[in-house]
Amino acid sequence: MSLVVDGLRKRFGDVLALDGASFAVRPGEVFGFLGANGAGKTTTMRIVLGLMKPDEGSVTWNGEPARSWPRRTWGYMPEERGLYLRMPVMDQLVYFAALYGVSRGKAREEAMAWLERFRIADLADRRAETLSKGNQQKVQYIATMLQDPDVLLMDEPFVGLDPVNVALLKSAFLELRDTGKTLVFSTHQLEQAEALCDSVAIIDHGRIVASGSTRDVRRSTGHQAVRIATASDDGLDWLGTCPDVTVTRSGNDYTELRVGAGLDPQVILRTALDRGETILRFEVTDPSLEDVFVERVGAPAANEERTMVASGARA
């Protein structure tokens, strides 16, 4: 029983937006939909919601066509905010909930609980246009939640939030998952996806280039990563004696290495010790989602790099 996207194709004139996109999301998991701008993420979400028809393919939820389920099944948070800017926050939250049959009293109670959780209860009577972009983002999220949907689809939910509010939203995601809700969100912020997601799919030019559990996707490259730090000021020039090892990141705290599939990472440790190096850190790990993304899709374009790699946006 899951959300199954199967063979979606969608063309807009000469542009092929989706080219056989397929993936599955299990109930009660957090699923990250990763891709650059224009890769097909928003088009896929709109098809799932029934806002757009595919040229080919299907979307099912629990074995039935997604369109056949009540609208209340789905919660959608678009990247473009959908608030009434001159309407007070609480009034519009109650209004949005009423569209799904939620009583005014219950909607007001639930909305206030969420506003308090997100530390913006004092903004309940303020017009949306007076709020910062980050606070508008939180109000939009609350509006998505009030009808108690089974599946939440969110387009770039972390954009515009500072680190404190990112942490609040992440905590809310995990609690909702633990109550059995299914969360699907698109993001450029690969570190957030890696920290939150049970499963992910990477889309590039309308095609899914990797999908599955986050751990399996990270391991799909066939190589490993090593993070190493030594007490020496001489750098890691001796790595030249280790075959199939590439420095991928250099920092003040450690150096990260890409280790080919045919090399045991312990060779690096033994080589360092044989040279008399003092090892301050040695960690063998799977490649990051960023590494997988770069390998499957390529490095982000200059105007996307800040959001694809960095996880903190200013409010």
Looking at the chain, how many residues does it have? 315
Q: What is the pLDDT of residue 235?
A: 72
Which residues belong to CATH 3.30.70 in the chain?
222-286
Q: Which of 48, 51, 52 is nearest to 5 (CA)?
A: 48
Q: What pLDDT, on a 0 to 100 scale, did the predictor assign at position 41?
A: 93
pLDDT in tens, 112-131: 999 999 999 999 999 999 99
Quickly state the pLDDT bin for 298 (edges 50, 70, 90): confident
Angstrom distance (rounded) from CA 48 to CA 5:
8
Question: 180 and 28 in contact (C-beta within 8 Å)?
Answer: yes
Distances (CA, A) of 179 to 8, 71, 148, 153: 30, 20, 11, 16
Kindly report, as residue ranges, where domains of CATH 3.40.50.300 are found in the chain.
3-218
> In this model, does residue 104 exceed pLDDT 50?
yes
- Between the two ends of the chain, the Cα-to-Cα distance in Å is 38
By C-alpha distance, which of 267, 288, 156 is closest to 225? 288
Give the C-alpha separation, 215 to 286, whole Å.
8
Tokens describing residue 211: 């999908």
- Helix 133-145, helix 163-178: angle, nearest 10: 10
Model confidence at 308: pLDDT above 80: no
Query: Distance between CA 36 and CA 11 in Å, rounded?
Result: 18
Angstrom distance (rounded) from CA 21 to CA 147: 29
- What pLDDT, in 10s, does the model give residues 165-217? 889 889 999 999 999 999 999 987 888 899 999 999 999 999 999 999 999 99
Helix count and strand count (H, E) for the chain: 10, 14
Instruction: Give bridge partners of residue 212 from the DSSP assignment.
Output: 200
**pLDDT of residue 144 exceeding 80:** yes
Rounded CA-CA distance 275/310 in Å is 36
Helix (H) or strand (E) holding 45: helix 41-48
CATH for the stretch 3-218: 3.40.50.300
- pLDDT tens track for 1-42: 589 999 999 999 999 999 999 999 999 999 999 998 889 999
What is the distance between the alpha carbons of residues 249 and 151, in angstroms, rounded to a whole number? 38
Extract the tokens encoding 229.
């730090």
pLDDT confidence band for 161 (50 / 70 / 90): confident
Residues facing residue 31 across a β-bridge:
184, 199
- In angstroms, the CA 169 to CA 120 distance is 13
Of 23-37, 137-151, 232-246, minimum mean pLDDT range? 232-246
* pLDDT for 297 beyond 50: yes
Condensed to tens digits (0 to 9), the pLDDT of residues 34-67 reads 998 889 999 999 999 999 999 999 999 999 999 8
Q: Is the pLDDT of residue 310 over 50?
A: no
Give yes or no for residue 249 having a pLDDT over 70. yes
What's the pLDDT score for residue 262? 83
Has domain 222-286 been given CATH number 3.30.70? yes
Separation in Å, CA 205 to CA 8, 102, 314: 13, 40, 29
Instruction: Give the percent of the chain with pLDDT over 90.
Output: 63
Question: Given this model, what pLDDT does residue 57 score?
Answer: 97
How high is the pLDDT of residue 134?
A: 86
* Nearest one of 229, 256, 261 to 244, comparing CA atoms: 261
Rounded-to-10 torsion of CA 7, 13, 14, 16: -20
Return phi, psi of residue 3, to 5°.
Answer: -85, 120
Residue for token pair 């109670």: 109
